[in-house]
Amino acid sequence: MQQASFVHRLKRGAAAPPVLVVGAGFAGSIVARELAEAGVRVRIVDKRPHIAGNAYDERDPHGVLVHRYGPHIFHTNAERIFRYLSRFTEWRPYEHRVLSVVEGVHYPFPINRTTLNRLYGLDLDEAGAARHFEMAREPRDPVRTSEDVVLNSVGRDLYEKFFLKYTRKQWGLDPSQLKAGVAARIPVRCDDEDRYFTDAFQAMPRHGYTRLFENLLDHPAIHVETSVDFADVDDKDGYAYVVYTGPIDAYYGHRFGALPYRSLRFEHEHVADASRFQPVGTVNYPNDHAYTRITEFKHLTGQEHPGTSIVREYPQADGEPYYPVPREENEDLYKRYEALAQAETKVAFVGRLAQYRYYNMDQVVGAALAAARRLLA
């Protein structure tokens, strides 16, 4: 009864939209769309000058479609999520491949049979690769940290060559200081599978992510404003409901202390005199350079162009928050903010920064759909 009257109140024709959504990335835009389709009017603001959050893509000055905030490859096992997004975009099939450079040689990554054979000059079949890992691994029980995960599956030599320094660069932390889930994102393979992801659905929005978001937000009940920071919204208290997708600690004025987020600097470059820069979408540099990886966008988008555009990712402590840092103590701190969030009756926190979770895009879509469903009950 109470919920029915809540939605009814939101639908009533007040002058201003009754719901404010903060952040026009996947989390905010999907909640906005779901509310709008249920007849609720929504104002969505983003402090950046554009929609689409970290998935934002654009043509660079040379006309190549690039991802401003680093490579975004869509993959999911959830048909429901894929179908949902298919309402707003056509797709281009794309399966991401990654090579990792160790001592100047390119190896398939995640580590597979080819990686082993090439690295050690072997000729193992699948069973031989499995035996190799079995001999090399350092069993850990329990498996708590990212160091445990890698040592437990492939042993010290591969750990030191492919994981240790990449992780130190990416997070400014040792794998032993990060929860198991970080390294557990990367499988280990005994066969020749060389796709980065093995999800059932792997594709890129045919006309880019920004176009997908334009379609998502194109609804008469949604009012979009970019370059508007939540801090500068002066009628904050006038909304019946706020959906907040920014960093949760910022919402609460960092009252328990700042939650650590890892940032990146993206160095974009256009290479005019070659149509190809590297053999696959992404090349990782675990042990060399200050950047972790180089991505060449034309692999992802299938665009034809006489030149090509790449991005290098330089991890850094300060700057825009891009990654929650999965460590026990950070999650304890997050739980204190989460307790405040759970006591709110007029605010929902959704998304990678607001829920402090290392979510992929499809997981954020799932979280946003669930949040909207809860709201509309």
276 vs 196: CA distance, rounded Å: 20
User: 96: closest CA among 306, 293, 320, 288?
Assistant: 293
Query: Which tokens sit at 259?
Result: 């939650």
Amino acid identity of residue 80, one-letter, is R
35 binds ligand UDP (CB under 6 A): no
Site string for ligand UDP, 136-165 (x = CB under 6 A): --------------------------xx--
Q: Are 296 and 310 in contact (CB under 8 A)?
A: yes
246 vs 356: CA distance, rounded Å: 10
Q: Which position among 10, 21, 27, 111 is part of the footprint of ligand FAD (CB under 6 A)?
A: 27
Residue listed under structure tokens 């398939």: 108
Burial class (CB in 10 A: 0-12, 13-18, 19+), 119: middle
Give 230-283 as a 3 state SS string: HHHCCCHHHCCEEEECCCHHHHCCCCCCCCCEEEEEEEEEEECCCCCCCCCCEE
Q: Which position among 112, 284, 301, 355 is part of the footprint of ligand UDP (CB under 6 A)?
A: 284
81 makes contact, choosing from ligand UDP, ligand FAD, none, with CB < 5 to 8 Å by partner type, with none
185 makes contact, choosing from ligand FAD, ligand UDP, none, with CB < 5 to 8 Å by partner type, with ligand UDP
The nearest distance, CB 71 to ligand UDP, in angstroms, is 8
377 vs 310: CA distance, rounded Å: 44
- Identity of the residue, 186 or 300, whose beta carbon is nearer to ligand UDP in the bound complex: 186
Residue nearest to ligand UDP (CB): 166
Of 42-50, 121-129, 157-165, 300-308, the window that binds ligand FAD (rule: CB under 6 A) is 42-50
- Identity of the residue, 41 or 293, whose beta carbon is nearer to ligand UDP in the bound complex: 293
- Identity of the residue, 69 or 133, whose beta carbon is nearer to ligand FAD in the bound complex: 69
DSSP3 helix / strand / coil % (the chain, rounded to 5): 35, 20, 40
Q: Which position among 33, 41, 43, 48 is part of the footprint of ligand FAD (CB under 6 A)?
A: 48
Amino acid identity of residue 30, one-letter, is I
- Identity of the residue, 11 or 219, whose beta carbon is nearer to ligand FAD in the bound complex: 219
Which residues does 178 contact at the CB level (< 8 Å), separation at least 6?
A: 145, 146, 167, 171, 325, 326, 327
- Identity of the residue, 84 or 285, whose beta carbon is nearer to ligand UDP in the bound complex: 285
100 binds ligand UDP (CB under 6 A): yes
The nearest distance, CB 48 to ligand FAD, in angstroms, is 4
108 vs 154: CA distance, rounded Å: 15
Query: Which tokens sit at 217?
Result: 């937000």
26 binds ligand UDP (CB under 6 A): no
Helix (H, G, I), strand (E, B) or coil at 42: strand
Chain positions 263 to 282 lying near ligand FAD, rule: CB under 6 A, are: 264
The nearest distance, CB 233 to ligand FAD, in angstroms, is 8
Q: Name the residues that contact ligand FAD, by CB under 6 A.
A: 22-28, 45-48, 53-55, 69-73, 229-231, 245-246, 264, 322, 351-353, 359-362, 364
Q: Name the residues that contact ligand UDP, by CB under 6 A.
A: 100, 109, 162-163, 166-167, 170, 182-183, 185-186, 284, 286
